[in-house]
Amino acid sequence: MISFARLTFLTMLFSACAPSNTERESNTAADARAATFVYAPVLNRPHQERMRRTEEFSIPGSPLRNVEEWVMDWDVVVHPETNLFRRSMTLVGLKINVNGAELLRGDEVKANTVTLDVLTDKDANVVDVRGTDKFSAAIVALGSPEAQPALRRIFSPERLKALAVDRIIQLHADFVGHPAQPGSNWLVNDPSKAGTRQIRVLAATPCGSNRCVQVRREYDIDRQALYADISQRVGAYVQSQGSDPSKVAVTGMDLKLEDSLVIEPSTMEFYSVDFLQDVNLHVTGPNGELPVKLKIQRQTQYRY
């Protein structure tokens, strides 16, 4: 059993990436398709995905240092369904380590494996997400009895569906139809988050027998929202030390926020996805300045 607090990070781990065509095209057709990013899932070919998430939140020079690591293993296959693509993701492993303590070894979920089905159209738009009821119940079952009511609210089927849709959008909307040649770049506006994303195709790179490109995506986000989140964490620490959390104020920030992706353009098949959020803040508290560090890394590796 693990507590509710340790399971909240599951919401950050969904990463849905589309595979490529089972039958390869002629060189001429493939070259033409490689000029742009095209959504063309591979059908009926199982593959594995390993998702790893590490978060470290610390105040150097203080006892506060929290490190959490999650590893999720999935069996994935895409099937045709009428004029749609059905991407079935079966969770086969979940490891959780908090500050060096192993809370889940990874094989506990095998006793109750669950599958999410994400249906998309030819343009990578999500049409439906199935299996969220069973997936939600499985996550709730991993928690302690005291944590389960809260888990049912946080990991409701509706919330899980929204997360799956959002992740598909993150991995496809910025790319489909855009040029895939090295040197290409474009800017995407994100009014919902008051920011922008800069995408650059850096170079061609091998990926097995296929031809892929390495892509970098850099984010310009609403820093005030990040200030508020981190100030709340620092405030909780200050309060635990017997001081007034209302005296906490963020006075400066150094931020690096980017994705590095390896993609086969002719299919939108992913070979690796790396996300880095590295934040160093200058926070003033009741007893002076506190240096605060928040580092989040998300990685997904694929085995075809």
- Average the pLDDT over 111-136 and give the result: 91
Residue 174 pLDDT greater than 60, yes or no: yes
Residues 73-93: tens digit of each pLDDT = 999 999 999 999 999 999 888
- The token duo for 57 is 């939140």
Tokens 């580092």 correspond to 295
Average pLDDT rounded to a whole number, residues 133-138: 89
Q: How confident is the model at residue 250 (pLDDT cuts 50, 70, 90)?
A: confident
- What pLDDT score was predicted for residue 34? 57
Q: Which residue has the higher pLDDT, 22 or 226?
A: 226
- All structural domains of the chain with their residue ranges: 4-303
In terms of pLDDT, which residue wins out, 127 or 103?
Answer: 127
Taking the CA of residue 199 as centre, how many other CA atoms within 13 Å lie in the half-sphere pointing to its CB?
23
Q: How much is the pLDDT for 4? A: 38
Distance CA 2, CA 147 (A): 9
Q: Which two tokens stand for residue 234?
A: 């620092």
Across 150-169, average pLDDT: 82
How distant is the alpha carbon of residue 259 from its chain centre? 10
Closest residue by Cα to residue 173 from 153, 189, 160: 189
Adjacent-strand bridge partners of 57 = 66, 294
- Name the amino acid, one letter, at 186: W
pLDDT at 261 over 90: yes
Whether the CB-CB separation of 96 and 60 falls below 8 Å is answered with no
Q: Which of 213, 285, 302 is nearest to 251 (CA)?
A: 285
CATH class, range 4-303: mainly beta
Q: Is the pLDDT of residue 222 over 80?
A: no
